[in-house]
Amino acid sequence: MSKKKNKPQRPKARRPRGFEDKPADIIRAERRLIDAAFSVYDKHGFEPLQTPAFEYADALGKFLPDEDRPNTGVFALRDDDEQWMSLRYDLTAPLARFVAENFDGLAKPYRRYQAGSVFRNEKPGPGRFREFVQCDADSVGAPGAAADAEMCLLAADVMEAVGLKSGQYQVRVNNRKLLDGILENTGVPNTEEGALQRLQVLRAIDKLDRLGVSGVEALLGEGREDDSGDYTKGANLSPAAIKAVLGFTTASEGGRGATITNLEKLVGTSERGQAGCQELKDIDQILQAVGCDSDRVAFDTSIVRGLGYYTGPVFEVELLADIKDKKGRPVRIGSIGGGGRYDDLVSRFRGQLVPATGFSFGVSRLLSALERLEALETVSRPPVFISVFDKALLGEYFKMAEDIRHAGIRAEVYVGTGNVTKQMKYADRRGIQFAIIMGEDEMNAGQVTIKDLWLGAEKAKAIQSNEEWKSARPAQETISRDNLLDYLKDKLV
Pair 307, 361 in one domain: no
Domain CATH number, residue 180 = 3.30.930.10
Residues 6+ apart with CB under 8 A from 233: 200, 223
Percent helix, strand and coil across the chain, each rounded to 5? 45, 20, 40
Q: In the prediction, which pLDDT does 465 show?
A: 58
Model pTM? 0.84
Q: In the prediction, which pLDDT does 1 show?
A: 52
* 192 belongs to a structural domain: yes
* 287 belongs to a structural domain: yes
* 438 belongs to a structural domain: yes
Pair 371, 245 in one domain: no
Answer for the pair 136, 358: CB distance below 8 angstroms, yes or no. Answer: yes
Pair 189, 283 in one domain: yes
SS3 of residue 151 by DSSP: helix
* 461 belongs to a structural domain: yes
* 336 belongs to a structural domain: no
* 267 belongs to a structural domain: yes
- Please state, as a whole number, how many other Cβ atoms lie within 10 Å of the Cβ of residue 295: 12
Pair 125, 174 in one domain: no
Answer for the pair 199, 219: CB distance below 8 angstroms, yes or no. Answer: no
Output the DSSP codes for 9-77. Answer: --------TT-----HHHHHHHHHHHHHHHHHHHHTT-EE----SEEEHHHHTT--SSTTS-TT-S-EE
Q: In the prediction, which pLDDT does 68 show?
A: 44
Residues 6+ apart with CB under 8 A from 437: 387, 389, 420, 448, 449, 450, 451
At residue 65, what is the residue type? P
Q: In the prediction, which pLDDT does 175 show?
A: 93
Pair 280, 251 in one domain: yes
Q: What does the alpha-carbon distance between residue 27 and residue 425 come to, in Å, rounded to a whole number?
A: 25
Pair 367, 388 in one domain: no
Pair 204, 219 in one domain: yes
The stretches in the chain having pLDDT less than 50 are: 63-71, 469
Residues 6+ apart with CB under 8 A from 202: 179, 304, 307, 308
Per-residue pLDDT of 462-471, as tens digits, reads: 665 566 545 5
Q: How far is CA 313 from the centre of its chain?
A: 21
Q: Which helix (H) or strand (E) holds 476?
A: strand 476-480
Range of the domain at 36: 17-143+343-380
Pair 368, 401 in one domain: no
Pair 202, 275 in one domain: yes
Q: In the prediction, which pLDDT does 69 show?
A: 42
Q: In the prediction, which pLDDT does 462 show?
A: 66
Of 313, 330, 311, residue with least CA distance to 321 = 330
Mark which of 380, 407, 429 sits at the end of a domain.
Answer: 380
Number of domains making up the chain: 3
Pair 278, 365 in one domain: no
Mark which of 333, 364, 380 sits at the end of a domain.
Answer: 380
Pair 124, 202 in one domain: no
Q: What does the alpha-carbon distance between residue 306 and residue 310 come to, in Å, rounded to a whole number?
A: 6
Domain CATH number, residue 436 = 3.40.50.800
* 353 belongs to a structural domain: yes
| 481 DSSP assignment | G
Mark which of 312, 327, 351 sits at the end of a domain.
Answer: 312
* 335 belongs to a structural domain: no
Pair 186, 305 in one domain: yes
Q: In the prediction, which pLDDT does 17 show?
A: 92
Q: What does the alpha-carbon distance between residue 380 and residue 387 come to, in Å, rounded to a whole number?
A: 21
